[in-house]
């Protein structure tokens, strides 16, 4: 009788679990971090497609860059580059601060990063308004607007993430033990900064 009760309990326990079994996490990388890294890899491929078109027009076809009769605001873009590079340092300051329990550094770093990113995007939009040519004027202009516009779209997405993190930081949502929500958007923002350095060097300087 006792053995039957044990057997019945075992069967009953086996039916208590409903749904699929727990996922087997074979990777040592956290899902949030892995997802961001995979997303960045896919975005690198997108940028690579546009850079391929750029090099085809400029090198394979030998077209002058920029198109004859046009010029690019190298100095203005250089100032914008300095602004974006500075934002990498401020977001690093925010990440380091929360790891050390410095909430003021977190809030100040995130807010400064967000404002620097907004300044970059504002200057780029103003550059479009005064540059003197349109995307449909020539192949060079099309590639210019495509590369810089694609990056600008990534900056806009990054600003949304930064705004969300900044709001949460001011509400006290992060701790030295739980700060993944600051690190993952920070990785994306560093990617945006590095990609702009490549775009600026290739499109404006070379």
Where does 83-193 show beta strands of DSSP type E? none
CB 76 within 8 A of CB 127: yes
For the chain, the residue count is 206
* pLDDT for 21: 53
Query: Is residue 24 situated within a structural domain?
Result: no
- 67-103: b or e for each residue (b if 16 or more CB lie within 10 Å)? beebebbeebbeebbebbebbbebbebbbebbbeebb
In angstroms, the CA 126 to CA 130 distance is 6
* pLDDT for 14: 47
- The pTM score is 0.83
Query: Is residue 154 situated within a structural domain?
Result: yes
Query: Is residue 188 situated within a structural domain?
Result: yes
Query: Is residue 170 situated within a structural domain?
Result: yes
The whole-angstrom distance between residue 44's C-alpha and the CA centroid of its chain comes to 11
Query: Is residue 175 situated within a structural domain?
Result: yes
Q: Based on the structure, what is the number of domains in the chain?
A: 1
Query: Is residue 12 situated within a structural domain?
Result: no
* pLDDT for 102: 95
Low-confidence ranges of the chain (pLDDT < 50): 1-15, 26
Query: Is residue 8 situated within a structural domain?
Result: no
Query: Is residue 48 situated within a structural domain?
Result: yes
Structural domain containing residue 130: 30-66+74-205
CATH code where residue 124 lies: 1.20.120.80
* pLDDT for 16: 52
């Amino acid at each position: 009788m006792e053995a039957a009760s044990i057997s019945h309990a075992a069967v009953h326990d086996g039916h208590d679990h409903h749904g699929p079994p727990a996922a087997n996490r074979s990777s040592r990388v956290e899902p949030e971090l892995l997802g961001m890294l995979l997303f960045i890899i896919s975005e690198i491929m997108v940028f690579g497609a546009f850079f391929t078109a750029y090099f085809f027009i400029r090198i394979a076809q030998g077209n002058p860059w920029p198109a004859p009769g046009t010029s690019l605001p190298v100095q203005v873009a250089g100032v914008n580059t300095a602004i974006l590079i500075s934002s990498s340092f401020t977001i690093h300051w925010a990440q380091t601060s929360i790891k050390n329990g410095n909430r003021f550094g977190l809030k100040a770093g995130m807010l400064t990063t967000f404002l620097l990113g907004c300044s970059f995007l504002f200057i780029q939009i103003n550059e479009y308004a005064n540059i003197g040519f349109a995307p449909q004027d020539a192949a060079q202009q099309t590639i210019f607007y495509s590369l810089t516009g694609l990056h600008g779209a990534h900056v806009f997405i990054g600003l949304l993430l930064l705004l969300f993190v900044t709001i949460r930081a001011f509400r006290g949502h992060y701790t030295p033990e739980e700060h993944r929500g600051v690190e993952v958007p920070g990785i994306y923002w560093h990617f945006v900064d590095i990609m702009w350095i490549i775009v600026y060097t290739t499109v404006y300087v070379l």
